Amino acid sequence: MDKQRFFEQLQGIVPARVSNQKAVLNEHGAGFSYHACTPPDWVVYPETTGEVADIVRLCAAHVVPVVPFGAGTSVEGHILALKGGVCVDLRRMNRVLEINGADMYTTIEAGVTRNQLDQALEGSGFFFPIGPGVNATLGGMASTRASGTNAVRYGTMKDNVLTMKVVLPDGQVISTGSKARKSSAGYDLTRLFIGAEGTLGIITELTLKLHSYPQAIYAAVCTFPSVEAAVNTAIRTIQKGIPVAKIELLDAQMMKAINLYSGLDYTQAPTLFLEFHGSQAELNQQVAQVQAFAQAHGADAFLWEKDEARRLKLWRARTDAAPAAVALRAGAQLMSTDVCVPISRLSGCIVETQADIEKTGILAPILGHVGDGNFHLTIVIDPNNPDEMARAKALNERLVERALRMEGTCTGEHGIGVGKLPYMAQEHPQAIHTMWAIKKALDPHNLMNPGKLLPEV
């Protein structure tokens, strides 16, 4: 292929919005994690679905790989350009097209970030509940089936998208669904593209469900004598059907990290961060129940963060937990794990994992969306130390095997990317062939984000 000619053809589609400058390429070759930078050959900045379709069609004609790019915040190497090609940076597609209060949805372009969406919704009486710990784009969040702290009550991306506009590998544009709240009309393409990590097409527009802003919000911090006691309180809360909005575990090391990073002075002990949404009456009841469970597990009294400023500071600190952990060690990088198990297995899984961390001698504060059975080790590593990398990877591998043995999954919310590829066949020994059949049917030349999600079999 004549690269110069191809570059000119890209310019024909998005004039002055194509780059092959090294700095720009490198900026698009590394995610928010330890994976080695693997830059694309070109970066384009489309502004419309039509432009994305034209780019994809051109790439298909020249058999050039296409890597969709949101905010570059994924942690499993989703945006590495393993086979070069065109990186489609969607950040200029950042218009909020409609906020429909009567039907409780918003339609946005895929490059809108969650912070931007939060701002756009301010004063509307509605909010969008899904929030990973970074300012990701909504297209990226859909592509990794993201969730975050509110998922325990409001579900994940798969539960909060009505319909999407998607550019297929051949450049065709489809709507995956309608704006009705439910439908039984055909295969659920919305859910198929959510979590597909850009391997089946590029999401360019999303219609998201909105939720009424709660009448009241309480946030609380609760310190426990052990991680087990904290987790068991969470388990009991879920099993009793109490609709907590957030129930987050941080171990003692993580508490130390966020105290340092965010200028806080919480007790450095296993802790639950909690949030309750509802009417005053509902909150009183929920709080009384959870407090009783916590006390039964030897917890201190709840520390309330009722006023909005303190509440936001608390959750800001929680959001910043990953960088806070990384900041514990100069020059280090993040390797984040992400298993999810049935809730009754969570306590056992975390306790075994803690013992394993200790034995491995690696710095790995624990963080968990424990209401979902989902937790992370924020492994703080020196990527230039091969021995340490090997030990960290082995720790992660044992963790995944533990989770799978406990009928869980190798990733609750981060996705497969390249980092979790080795575990796909273990988790889906038969289903992986079905996934490949779908991939080959929609993307026969393997041009859409190649080398991600599906390992060679």
Question: What span, in angstroms and rounded, lies between the C-alpha atoms of 253 and 237?
Answer: 24
Residue 322: CB minimum distance to its own copies, A: 17
How many Å apart are CA 189 and CA 420, to the nearest integer? 24
Figure out which of the listed residues 195, 365, 368, 419 binds its own copies, where binding follows CB under 8 A.
195
- Contacts for 42 with CB less than 8 Å, ≥ 6 apart: 6, 7, 10, 18, 19, 20, 25, 85, 86, 87
Q: Which of 111, 373, 450, 451 binds its own copies (CB under 8 A)?
A: 373
Q: Tell me which DSSP letter residue 409 carries.
A: B
Taking CB under 8 A as the binding criterion, the range among 31-39, 244-252, 296-304, 339-347 that sits at the site for its own copies is: 339-347
Q: How many other β-carbons are positioned within 10 Å of the β-carbon of residue 430? A: 7
Instruction: Read off the tokens for 118.
Output: 């939060």
Among 104, 264, 303, 327, indicate the residue that binds its own copies (CB under 8 A).
104
- In the block, tokens 């002990």 appear at 269
Q: Are 123 and 66 in contact (CB under 8 A)?
A: no
Nearest to 135 by CA among 70, 90, 202, 205: 70
405 binds its own copies (CB under 8 A): no
E-assigned strand segments in 60-156: 66-69, 86-89, 96-100, 105-109, 126-127
Does 48 bind its own copies (CB under 8 A)? Our answer is no
Candidates 27-35, 192-200, 297-305, 325-333 — which segment interacts with its own copies by CB under 8 A? 192-200
* SS3 state at 11: helix
> Is 65 among the residues that bind its own copies (CB under 8 A)?
no
450 near its own copies, rule: CB under 8 A: no
CB atoms within 10 A of CB 247: 27
**Minimum distance from residue 292 beta carbon to its own copies (Å):** 14
| The binder of its own copies chosen from 3, 5, 240, 306 (CB under 8 A) | 240
Q: Which is nearer to its own copies, 170 or 382 (CB)?
A: 170
Count the residues of the shown chain that bind its own copies, applying the rule CB under 8 A.
92
**Residues numbered 154-173 forming contacts with its own copies, rule: CB under 8 A:** 155-156, 158-159, 168, 172-173
Q: Closer to its own copies at the Cβ: 70 or 415?
A: 415
Cα–Cα dist 401/425, whole Å: 12
Window of 18-26, 27-35, 38-46, 366-374 that interacts with its own copies by CB under 8 A:
366-374
Q: What is the smallest separation between the CB atom of 195 and its own copies, expressed in angstroms?
A: 6
Q: How would you classify residue 175: left for phi > 0, otherwise alpha for psi between -120 and 50, otherwise beta?
A: beta
Q: Of 9, 11, 94, 100, which one interacts with its own copies (CB under 8 A)? A: 100
Site residues for its own copies, 249-308, by CB under 8 A, read: 278-279, 281-282, 284-285
Residue 144 C-beta: closest distance to its own copies, Å: 6
- Which of 414, 448, 449, 450 is the binder for its own copies (CB under 8 A)? 414
